[in-house]
Copies of this chain bind each other. A is one copy, B any other.
Amino acid sequence: MNEIPIIENVLKLNDDVAADNRRRLNELGVFTIDLIGSPGCGKTTLLEQTLRRLSGEYNIGVIVGDLATTRDAARLHRWCEHIVQINTDRGCHLEAHQIRRALDRLDVERLDILIIENVGNLICPVGFDLGQDVKVGMFSVTEGDDKAAKHPHLVCLADLILLNKVDLAGAVLFDEAQFNSDVARLNAEVPVMKIDAVHGRVDPWLEWLRNSGLSHRHTMTEAMLG
């Protein structure tokens, strides 16, 4: 009887801090994304493209989670000044209190969009609310067409699914129909967007980000005026 109450307390504490983060970010009108995917699915490459293409339009902040190294943050720093790296050592996911501390290190007031690049892991980050507005689940074709079916909790909770490295789909015999039907069975609402981040083919994602970010700011402004 010892373990489960403790685990619940940890999650409850996390959720309380996440709610604080969400309130703070919403009051400032910062549209916040929790980006979850495998190691090497292309999260950092996607963010490089995103910053390169959108940094003239929006102030974008990035919080990067990794066990070790600051390589991702260094890659992104070329395009963006609002970056915090969180090194988790053995930690397999980010938690809300880490985001709270990271927010203190960012000029949050100046941001339009905040993207949290979670630790590369399709499992553990899913259960931890960080205070984000949306969760984005990212897969790549080189991981295989069975990965949506094998990670149902992420697919069920995701507001958007990105499928990256589609230029390699032929080389790895990726069965797109299988992947799409697994996603649809688990979450009938969630859109799936095919991208090829390394070659800059990320237009649907940028469009989604523009629309979601804009509509979010609009809703927040109305809520505050009303």
Contacts and interface: CB of A to CB of B under 8 A. Distances in A.
A81 interface: no
Given A92-B121, A171-B168, A67 B152 contact: yes
Interface stretch (A2-10, A46-54, A103-111, A208-216): A2-10
A68 interface: yes
Interface in A181-204: 198
Interface stretch (A22-30, A55-63, A141-149, A218-226): A141-149
B142 A40 contact: yes
A78 interface: no
A62 B108 CA distance: 50
Contacts of A38: 38-40, 120, 143
Interface of A: 2-3, 6, 9-10, 38-41, 66-69, 71, 90, 92, 119-124, 126-127, 140, 142-144, 146-147, 149-153, 165, 168, 171-172, 198
A147 B39 contact: yes
19 contacts: A3-B6, A3-B10, A38-B38, A38-B39, A38-B40, A38-B143, A39-B122, A39-B143, A40-B140, A40-B142, A67-B150, A67-B153, A71-B146, A71-B149, A92-B92, A119-B123, A121-B124, A171-B171, A172-B198
Given A39-B38, A171-B171, A69 B146 contact: yes
Nearest to A142: B142
Nearest to A41: B143
A71 to B, nearest CB: 5
A65 to B, nearest CB: 11
B124 A124 contact: yes
* List of 3 A-B pairs having minimum Cβ-Cβ separation, nearest first: A40-B143, A142-B142, A92-B123
A150 B69 contact: yes
Given A123-B92, A142-B168, A143-B39, A149 B3 contact: no
Contact of A151 (B39, B71, B124, B142): B39
Contacts of A171: 168, 171
A146 B172 CA distance: 21
A127 B124 CA distance: 15
A56 B153 CA distance: 39
